Amino acid sequence: MGSVIVKRSKIASYASGLLFGAGWWLILDIIIYFNNIGKSKDKDPNEAITFITFLPGIIGTIGFFLVNFLPRNALNINEETGISAGKSLYIIIAFAVTFAGIISGFWVLFSKYTGESYCKYGVFMVMQSLCIFLSTFVFRFGRPLAAESSSF
C-alpha cells in the first residue's frame, strides 16, 4: 500500500512540474520568437508584448504556491478543535487567486489580442495560464492525503 501512495505522489508531482514548466516555457518561447522574428512582421510591435502579457502567469504562479502551501490534512475536521476560520478563509482566497489567473488570461486575450495581427501572443499567454492552472490542481489533488505532512 505504501509503495502505491509513493508512486502516485511521484507521478502527480512530475506531471504538475511538467505542466508548470511547460506553461512558463510557452510564454518564454513566444517572447523569444517575438524578439527574433515577430517584431519585423507585426504592424505595431511595441503593443504586442507588454507587462500585461505576463500578468496572468504571475497571478497563476502566486495562486499555485498559495493553494499548495496549506496541506489538505490541515483542513480535516477535528472534534476537539474543528477547522479554524483562518485556514478556511486562506484556502478560499488561494483558490480565488488561482481562478483569477485563468480568468485574467482570457480577459487579456479578448480585450487586447483579439482581431490583431499579433493574436498568437495572446493564445500562448492563455495556454500558459491553462498549464499553470492545471498544474496547481494536479499537485493539490493528485497526491493522496497520506503522503502530505500534517505540520499545521
Residue 142 DSSP label: S
3 state SS of 124? helix
**Which residues neighbour 59 within 8 Å (Cβ) at sequence distance 6 or greater?**
97, 100, 101, 104
What's the pLDDT tens digit per position in 104-149? Answer: 999 999 998 887 777 888 899 999 999 999 999 999 988 877 555 5
- Nearest Cα residue to 12 out of 144, 146, 143: 143
What's the pLDDT tens digit per position in 17-65? Answer: 999 999 999 999 988 888 887 666 666 666 778 888 899 999 999 999 9
Q: Which three cell numbers stand for residue 114?
A: 483579439
Cα–Cα distance for residue pair 50/113, rounded to 1 Å: 12
